Amino acid sequence: MSDYRDRIARLSQASRQRLSDALADHLREKSGASSTALVAYVVAAPDQHPQSSELREHVRRSLPEYMIPSSFVFLKAMPRLPNGKVAVDELPDASATVAADESGLVAPQTEVEKTLVDIWSSVLGVGEIGVHDNFFEIGGDSILSIRIVALAREAGLSITPDLLFDHQTVASLARVVEDASQSAEASPSAPVDEDTGGVFPLTPIQHWFFEQQLAAPNHWNQSLMLRSRSAVRFDRMQKAVDAVAQAHAMLRARFVTVDDRFTCRIADERISVEQVDLTSTPDADRDAVISARVSTAEASLDIEHGPVVRVTMFDNGPDEVTQVHIAAHHLVVDVLSWQKIVADLSSAYAQAGRDEPIVLTAPSAAFVAWSRHLVSRAAAPELRNQLAYWIGDSERDGSGDDGDALLPVDHTGQRFTEATAAFVEVVLPDDTTTALLTKVPGVYGTQIDEVLLAALATTIGRWVGNDRVLVGLERHGRETTGYDLDVSETVGWFTSYFPVTIKAHPNATASDPGGLLKSVKEQLRAVPEKGLPFGIGRYLAPDDATRSAMQSVPDPPIIFNYAGRLASPDSEGGDAFVPVGGFLTSRSPLNHRRHQLEINAFVDEGRLVVRWQYSTAMFADSTVEQLAHAMRADLEALIEHCQTDGAGGYTPSDFPDIDLCQDDLDQLLGSL
């Protein structure tokens, strides 16, 4: 262990003050003080009479937003213990002095703050939000951050997901947005890249798709069933679909080979709406007819010649609602794309109904701009340093020569095909899910996916008898750190995929849950740029040596994705079309799956759902059922721990400008 006392001496006064204030806040929480508002106790010099606003601006110069006090309590002197330290228990009750309402929430003051509070409330489904509430501690996640950015943009506020990660409260974010608006003329936004002529390169996840060499690559879709709030006219529907397809070029994409390498081009073709008349079909037979037509549409996509999207409209008569099915190849859409597609389809249909020219709000960056941006990043000098996280670190993967050998399958010699796919689901109760979303994150500064992965790694490690678990992670992939590209509402497939080895003791959820959460948090925060460089280096690096080294990184037998909260159909109350159920996948039974276990977690109607997908040709149903319930038990143990007295703590990633390991940080905090 390094000599932490020498390192403390080299810290700036501001850094030491940050840690001191963080510890004081932690002590107040342990003693039962409100955790929704941070209070500062001040002893001013005899000839000084500072205002709270002056003090707040002063500390803002050296402290992050989450450490800015909500109010200041002025004292003649600090109560002291015999050893000279502050007697925390003797500080006066500050509840009456906090500049907040009775719930401890600080209300928005500026128009920007009011707008952001309204947006956060709408997206998070939280009725009351204070300007000092942390986005990720009241249920926010990376997927929802994209929705925040999109709605803010519609409201005229220019923010990015990265800004939201750096400024996690409304108060902090509002100041950045205000500054951006004041300097808008000096720093105009990057123009939309509308050049879709010719061919352009694939993104890493699209390369990943073609790397699979699927038996039926044309049938690998996402789809959504919509219903209207009233009967739909076919002519207006076709106009709306034409407008949406014109606004989002990837819906007209074609994938062709050039010099034995797949590329993409945009076709100048419309998406024809197919109308199915059900008015003469008996009610008892309608579901069967719809299912058959949907299956036909799903199997008819063609990534080379088109179309890559099919729209089928089921007409139930002039007095009945209309159902609209949209099937799109996964190469051109992801979950976030559907939000924009549905919103634009509703807007376009409404405008067509008013006989107005259809005008849709275009995304600020086209998918082709993102594709070319990733190619340019592949040539950046810093990429090689980032790829060192994955290249040549045999200790990190811990998988030996064959990552698949980690999992003890029940049946050998079989591949995971769609024809043998099955799934097991476990669901957390409402109250446990609420605790996971709103109470757990603030205890150790974790995000939801980090908590889920801590439980998953513990479960898998216990099963395989190894404290190192190799997992492939999926993220939304719309990472724009340091670049002026807003792809929050761009239609396309942005998913990033990367492997990570998580070290977790098999009994950690029982013996050291706090240590487990802090460890997994730091392991995941160490991944460069949330994993985006992995795919760039593996598929886009300009030199053969780098691509070859990245191709040799072991492929995980398990893949995990946390998709956040599924949007409720009722949340789109005023729109013409709303989803029926959730997003569906449709794949040919001939296609294989790359991973032995696929685990998807999401929050639906206020409850966390963890879905384990597997092959019955590889695993017995009982094996996966036991794993699913074991992970639930490990997760519930972590949630319960985070609600106990004394739980909580900081990790080095909470203080990114201070070079300390966890042991040094713990001793430093203990010495303050």
Structural domain contains residue 289: yes
43 and 170 share a domain? Answer: no
pLDDT in tens, 458-504: 999 999 999 999 999 999 888 765 566 788 889 999 999 999 999 99
pLDDT in tens, 23-70: 554 444 433 333 455 778 888 887 776 766 567 667 766 665 556 776
Q: Is the dihedral of CA 647, 650, 651, 654 positive or negative?
A: positive
Report the SS3 class of residue 143: helix
474 and 617 share a domain? Answer: yes
362 and 466 share a domain? Answer: no
Structural domain contains residue 659: no
Q: How far apart are CA 658 and CA 562, in angstroms?
A: 30
Structural domain contains residue 8: yes
Host domain of residue 67: 4-33+38-90
Q: How far apart are CA 667 and CA 672, in angstroms?
A: 9
Written as six digits, the tokens of 411 are 């049946």
Of the ranges 102-111, 381-390, 423-432, 609-618, which one carries the lowest mean pLDDT score? Answer: 102-111
Q: How far apart are CA 535 and CA 158, in angstroms?
A: 28
**Of the candidates 173, 165, 180, which has an alpha carbon nearest to the alpha carbon of residue 115?**
173
Written as six digits, the tokens of 140 are 């926010």
Q: Are 532 and 496 in contact (CB under 8 A)?
A: yes
Return the CATH number at 171.
1.10.1200.10
pLDDT in tens, 119-141: 888 888 777 888 888 888 888 87
348 and 439 share a domain? Answer: no
503 and 640 share a domain? Answer: yes
Q: How far apart are CA 401 and CA 468, in angstroms?
A: 15
Structural domain contains residue 322: yes
**Of the candidates 442, 439, 437, which has an alpha carbon nearest to the alpha carbon of residue 649?**
442
Question: How many domains does the structure of the chain reveal?
Answer: 4
Which pTM was predicted?
Answer: 0.80
252 and 156 share a domain? Answer: no
pLDDT at 602: 92
Domain termination site, one of 128, 152, 182: 182
Structural domain contains residue 173: yes
Question: Does the pLDDT at position 1 exceed 50?
Answer: no
Written as six digits, the tokens of 532 are 């985006």
pLDDT at 664: 74
The residues that bridge with 485 in the sheet, in sequence order, are: none
53 and 122 share a domain? Answer: no
Structural domain contains residue 380: no
Written as six digits, the tokens of 583 are 């997003």
pLDDT in tens, 255-287: 998 888 889 999 998 999 999 999 999 989 999
403 and 478 share a domain? Answer: yes
539 and 431 share a domain? Answer: yes
Sorted by sequence, the CB contacts under 8 Å of residue 446 that are 6+ apart come out as: 440, 517, 521
Q: How far apart are CA 574 and CA 266, in angstroms?
A: 33
76 and 171 share a domain? Answer: no
Q: How far apart are CA 596 and CA 593, in angstroms?
A: 7
58 and 121 share a domain? Answer: no
Question: Does the pLDDT at position 672 exceed 80?
Answer: no
pLDDT at 415: 82
pLDDT in tens, 560-571: 999 888 765 444
Q: At what angle do helices 170-182 and 111-124 cross, to 10 degrees?
A: 130
Structural domain contains residue 441: yes
Return the CATH number at 44.
3.30.300.30
Question: Does the pLDDT at position 572 exceed 50?
Answer: no
AA letter at 569: P
540 and 624 share a domain? Answer: yes
Structural domain contains residue 526: yes
Return the CATH number at 435.
3.30.559.30
Q: How far apart are CA 423 and CA 87, in angstroms?
A: 56
Give the N- to C-terminal CA distance of the chain in Å, as an integer.
19
Q: At what angle do helices 621-642 and 430-438 cross, to 10 degrees?
A: 60
Return the CATH number at 210.
3.30.559.10
